[in-house]
Structure 1
Amino acid sequence: MTLVLEEGRNVSLEQKGTYAIVAITKHGVELARNLHAKFHQTDLFYMSKFERGDEDRRNISLFEGNVRLLLPSLFQSYKGIIMIISLGAVVRMIAPLLKDKKTDPAVVVIDDKGKHAISVLSGHLGGANELTKEVADLLGAVPVITTASDVQKTIPVDLFGSKFGWVWESAEKLTPVSASVVNEEHVAVIQESGEKEWWNYDSPLPETIKVYQSIEEAIHAKPNAALVVTHRNLNKNEEAILHNGVLYRPKVIVLGIGCNRGTSMEEIDQVIHETLNELHFSIKSVKAICSIDLKKDEEGIIAVSQKNNWEFKCYSSEELNRVQIAEPSETVFKFTGAYGVSEPAARLYSGAESLSICKKKSGNVTISVAVISF
Structure 2
Amino acid sequence: MTLILEEGKIVDLKQKGTYAVVAITKHGVELARNLHAKFHQTDLFYMSKFEKGDEKERNISIFEGNVRLLLPTLFKSYKGIIMIISLGAVVRMIAPILKDKKTDPAVVVIDDKGNHVISVLSGHLGGANELTKEVAELLKATPVITTASDVQKTIPVDLFGSRFGWVWESAEKLTPVSASVVNEEQVAIIQESGEKEWWTYDKPLPKTIKVYPTIKEAIDAKPNAALVVTHRNLTEEEDVILQNGVLYRPKVIVLGIGCNRGTSMEEIEQVIQDTLNDLQFSIMSVKAVCSIDLKKDEEGIIAVAQKYNWDFTCYSADELNRVQIDLPSEAVYKFTGAYGVSEPAARVYSGAQTLAMTKKKSGNVTISVAVIPY
TM-score for both structures, normalised by structure 1: 0.71
Question: Counterparts of 1:328-339 in structure 2 under 5 Å?
Answer: 328-339=328-339
Letter in 2 for 1:205: L
| Distance of 2:366 and 2:93 partners within structure 1 | 60
1:93 to 74, 93, 97: 97
* Equivalence for 2:122: 120
Find out whether 1:193 has 2:193 as its counterpart: yes
| Distance of 2:106 and 2:26 partners within structure 1 | 16
Equivalent pair of 1:119/1:144 in contact (CA under 8 Å): no
Deviation at 1:327, TM superposition (A): 1.4
* Equivalence for 2:70: 73
Deviation at 1:17, TM superposition (A): 5.5
Distance 1:131 1:317, change over 3 A: closer
Deviation at 1:79, TM superposition (A): 3.6
Equivalent pair of 1:166/1:250 in contact (CA under 8 Å): yes
Equivalent pair of 2:106/2:128 in contact (CA under 8 Å): no
| Distance of 1:269 and 1:15 partners within structure 2 | 37
Letter in 2 for 1:284: M
| Distance of 2:291 and 2:277 partners within structure 1 | 21
Find out whether 1:152 has 2:144 as its counterpart: no
* Equivalence for 1:37: none
Q: Residue deviations 1:137-173, cap 9 Å, x none? A: 79xx871287xxx631011111111111110001111
| Distance of 1:200 and 1:132 partners within structure 2 | 12
* Equivalence for 1:210: 210
| Distance of 2:273 and 2:129 partners within structure 1 | 29
| Distance of 2:9 and 2:134 partners within structure 1 | 33
Q: Residue deviations 1:46-77, cap 9 Å, x none? A: xxxxxxxxxxxxxxxxxxxxxxx963235679
| Distance of 2:279 and 2:265 partners within structure 1 | 21
Letter in 2 for 1:350: S
| Distance of 1:182 and 1:157 partners within structure 2 | 10
* Equivalence for 2:54: none
Gaps of 5+ in 1: 20-41, 44-68, 109-115
* Equivalence for 1:113: none
| Distance of 1:86 and 1:349 partners within structure 2 | 41
| Distance of 2:362 and 2:208 partners within structure 1 | 48
| Distance of 2:121 and 2:166 partners within structure 1 | 24
| Distance of 1:162 and 1:279 partners within structure 2 | 25
| Distance of 1:256 and 1:6 partners within structure 2 | 48
Q: Residue deviations 1:31-54, cap 9 Å, x none? A: xxxxxxxxxxx99xxxxxxxxxxx
* Equivalence for 1:61: none
Equivalent pair of 1:359/1:366 in contact (CA under 8 Å): yes
| Distance of 1:132 and 1:334 partners within structure 2 | 49
Deviation at 1:16, TM superposition (A): 3.8
* Equivalence for 1:221: 221
Equivalent pair of 2:106/2:122 in contact (CA under 8 Å): no
* Equivalence for 1:181: 181
Question: Counterparts of 1:102-121 in structure 2 under 5 Å?
Answer: 106=107, 118-120=120-122
Distance 1:372 1:7, change over 3 A: closer
Deviation at 1:6, TM superposition (A): 9.3
| Distance of 1:125 and 1:271 partners within structure 2 | 43
Q: Residue deviations 1:74-93, cap 9 Å, x none? A: 56798426665999995651
| Distance of 2:340 and 2:175 partners within structure 1 | 48
Deviation at 1:127, TM superposition (A): 3.8
Equivalent pair of 1:106/1:126 in contact (CA under 8 Å): no
| Distance of 1:292 and 1:308 partners within structure 2 | 20
* Equivalence for 2:61: none
| Distance of 1:299 and 1:281 partners within structure 2 | 25
* Equivalence for 2:50: none
Deviation at 1:326, TM superposition (A): 1.1
| Distance of 2:264 and 2:129 partners within structure 1 | 36
| Distance of 1:284 and 1:341 partners within structure 2 | 24
Distance 1:14 1:172, change over 3 A: closer
| Distance of 1:254 and 1:314 partners within structure 2 | 13
| Distance of 1:330 and 1:70 partners within structure 2 | 59
Corresponding residue pairs, total: 306
| Distance of 1:213 and 1:130 partners within structure 2 | 25
| Distance of 2:90 and 2:25 partners within structure 1 | 25
* Larger Rg, first or second structure (1 or 2): 1
Deviation at 1:9, TM superposition (A): 8.3
| Distance of 1:73 and 1:318 partners within structure 2 | 51
| Distance of 2:301 and 2:190 partners within structure 1 | 34
| Distance of 1:342 and 1:131 partners within structure 2 | 34
Distance 1:132 1:228, change over 3 A: closer
* Equivalence for 2:13: none
Deviation at 1:125, TM superposition (A): 10
| Distance of 1:292 and 1:276 partners within structure 2 | 21
* Equivalence for 1:319: 319
Gaps of 5+ in 2: 11-22, 30-45, 48-65, 75-80, 110-117
| Distance of 2:272 and 2:301 partners within structure 1 | 11
Cα RMSD after superposing both structures: 3.9
Letter in 2 for 1:333: Y
Deviation at 1:240, TM superposition (A): 0.4
Equivalent pair of 1:132/1:143 in contact (CA under 8 Å): no
* Equivalence for 1:370: 370
| Distance of 2:273 and 2:346 partners within structure 1 | 17
Deviation at 1:236, TM superposition (A): 0.5
